[in-house]
Structure 1
Amino acid sequence: MKDYFIERPRFPAHDFRMRFWTRIELFESILNAVVNHDHYFARKIDVVGRQSLSPRQRLTSAFRMLANGCSADSTNNYCRLAETTAIKNLKRFCQAIQAIYRATYLHKLNCEHLKRLLCKADKIGFSGMIESLDCMHWEWKNCHTAWASQFKGRYNKSIIVLKVVASYDTWI
């Protein structure tokens, strides 16, 4: 909480963006949407009268695992979540994101959307282009030794190339 989520945080907003690959305002927006969608993320009082994990702890854990590719047990040090809780949080988070944003961002294009995308592409000088391709090289820390030579990248490290196709409206 003190690192990013109080009035005068320990670290500036650009550190949050570097660590979690998103702006803190977007994180807060997603946090509100997820808590409103799935009450699992809301803070509750347990049987003993103690408060459960905060929604920010739960989402910070999920964001760390997704943004940095860290393991579930590594979130224990920073977010104070057990490995099984971190995995459950991540699964529930992904289900909530899919349910919340599917209608807007994760659906197939229809004719109206296609015309709008073609018009946008034409305005910026890429007529006929409806999507853009992006790829990212991720280090594969747990690459099986038998496969290591097949996945060698720069600097003799094993990598995986992730490819994503997204439209200008971020339909994926």
Structure 2
Amino acid sequence: MGFHSPRYPAHNFRRRFQMRGELFESILNAVINHDHYFARKIDVVGQQSILPHQKLTSAFQMLANECSADSTDEYCRLVEITATENLKRFCKAIEVIYGATYLRKPNGENLKRLLRKAEKRGFPSMIRSLDCMH
């Protein structure tokens, strides 16, 4: 991946994207390493494809803000069909990369840890609330 200058300073990045820039870059690198669709390439006419950062931002925008694929065109420069394909591939990559660790039912030890953490934050019955969501 080539060097790029950040569009937002670190404090603005966290406010805008609800995550640290380092976490964004970590997810980006994991997704690129898993699926080279996300890497920047040269197309048949010699033009560079869109930045991996644009693809990841588009997927995050669609997931976090429940926005449509065509609404990412102005901000991320992805047309609707590309944004849709991008989102599908992103979700598959996340499932493969992080599924075994984060997308599984918590065991007894995990539940105890989550309940302790939730109680400290003032949500002692968090697990029952989450269980009711399904």
TM-score by length of 2: 0.77
Tell me the number of residue pairs that the alignment of Structure 1 and Structure 2 aligns: 126
One-letter amino acid of the counterpart of residue 10, structure 2: A
Q: Aligned pair in 2 of structure 1 residues 164, 119: CA closer, same or farther (>3 Å)?
A: closer
Higher helix share goes to which structure?
2
RMSD: 3.0
Q: Aligned pair in 2 of structure 1 residues 109, 47: CA closer, same or farther (>3 Å)?
A: same
**Which one has the largest radius of gyration?**
1
After TM superposition, what 4+ stretches of structure 1 lie above 2 angstroms from structure 2? 9-21, 115-126, 130-134
Report the equivalent of 2:86: 89
Report the equivalent of 2:12: 15
One-letter amino acid of the counterpart of residue 108, structure 1: K
Q: Unpaired segments of 5 or more residues in structure 1?
A: 135-162, 166-172
Q: In structure 2, how many angstroms separate the alpha carbons of the residues matched to 1:109 and 1:37? A: 25
Q: Aligned pair in 2 of structure 1 residues 131, 91: CA closer, same or farther (>3 Å)?
A: farther
Q: In structure 1, how many angstroms separate the alpha carbons of the residues matched to 2:62 and 2:113? A: 37
Q: In structure 1, how many angstroms separate the alpha carbons of the residues matched to 2:74 and 2:105? A: 40
Report the equivalent of 2:22: 25
Q: Percent identity?
A: 62
Q: Unpaired segments of 5 or more residues in structure 2?
A: none
Q: Which segment drifts farther, 19-28 or 35-44? A: 19-28
Give 1:117 deviation, angstroms. Answer: 4.2
Give 1:124 deviation, angstroms. Answer: 8.3
- Contact 2:115/2:127 (CA < 8 Å) preserved in 1? no
- 1:47-71 Cα offsets, whole Å, 9 max, x none, are 1111111111110111111122222
